[in-house]
Structure 1
Amino acid sequence: MTNYKKLIIAVDLSEDSAPVADRAQGLAADSGAELHLIHVIEPLSFAYGGDIPMDFSGIQDEIHQQAAQQLTRFGEQYGIPPERQHIVLGRPEVEIHSKAEEIGADLIVVGSHGRYGLALLMGSTANGVLHGASCDVLAVRVGACKTKS
């Protein structure tokens, strides 16, 4: 039995999000915890740098609208009401920490691809969330690197 009261599930809205949410939902069912979802959209300027003389605002708005629709559908599958579904713009690890503190989460549930070698040295969202979190973090193994039982 866990003592968790508020869990925040960090999702990228890919197929890997379902096992992360399933694990969090199982924990919440055991403890009666409140579930929240967060999806972080990285600004296109982070990916392309600030030196490109283009206005990304229209594209960024479209990305936000599509993500909002996907998050709504995803949240409905897990019975998470709209007021506990959060879409934010920024660096994932920073925004996940911030939202977790804002809502008083005592557990962050995030997917991890179990990277190794150079990919591990370069970092990942799960690694960034783990370091600097003010609450517990559960990294759920997802993707191709998942171990078989």
Structure 2
Amino acid sequence: MSDYKNILLALDLTEDAEQVITRALSISQGEGSTLHMIHVVEPISFAYGGDIPMDFSTIQDDIQQQAKQQLSALGLRHNIPAEQQHIVLGRPETEIHNVAEELNADVIVIGSHGRHGLALLLGSTANSVLHGAKCDVLAVRVGTTN
């Protein structure tokens, strides 16, 4: 059991999500604990810097709808109610911090690929969440390591 009552589980909806969910569920077993899930969809314009004169709104809507369906399926599989599932548009680290503050989260659980070398210098979402969070952050190592 843990002392964490408000847990925010940040997911990227990859195949590694199950490993991160399992860890979050293990710390949310205490009486009165609430587990929320969040997935942040980055605006397509972030990837292209707004330099391409195209309307991406339909594609962006499709991406958000697909993410909502995936998060909903995970919530259903792990008994996490729809009102505790959050799909947000924006920069992942910023939106995870915002939702954690709104929920008064005690801990953020996030997957980390344990990058090394240049990838580590460039940073990662988990690293950005860790350094800006006002609560504890549990980085769950996922993926293969060499």
Shorter-chain TM-score above 0.5: yes
2:107 maps to 1:75: no
2:41 maps to 1:41: yes
Equivalence map 1:70-149=2 (5 Å) = 70-145=70-145
How large is the RMSD of aligned CA atoms in angstroms? Answer: 1.1
TM-score in terms of structure 1 length = 0.95
Q: Write the distance in 2 (CA, Å) between the matches of 1:109 and 1:28.
A: 11
Amino acid at match of 1:106: D
- What's the CA shift for 1:3? 1.2
Q: Does the residue aligned with 1:101 lie in a helix, a strand or coil?
A: helix
Q: Write the distance in 1 (CA, Å) between the matches of 2:76 and 2:23.
A: 16
2:20 maps to 1:20: yes
Please list the CA deviations of residues 31-83 of structure 1 after superposition, one character each: whole Å capped at 9, or x if unmatched: 54110000000000001111110110000000011111111001111111000
TM-score in terms of structure 2 length = 0.97
Partner residue, 1:65:
65
Unaligned runs of at least 5 residues, structure 1: none
Aligned length, in residue pairs? 146
Please list the CA deviations of residues 75-131 of structure 1 after superposition, one character each: whole Å capped at 9, or x if unmatched: 111111000000000000000000000011110000000001000000000000001
Unaligned runs of at least 5 residues, structure 2: none
Contact 1:7 1:106 in 2 (8 A): yes
Contact 1:2 1:31 in 2 (8 A): no
Amino acid at match of 2:110: V
Percentage of matched positions with identical amino acids: 64
Q: Does the residue aligned with 2:3 lie in a helix, a strand or coil?
A: coil
Q: Write the distance in 1 (CA, Å) between the matches of 2:64 and 2:110.
A: 21
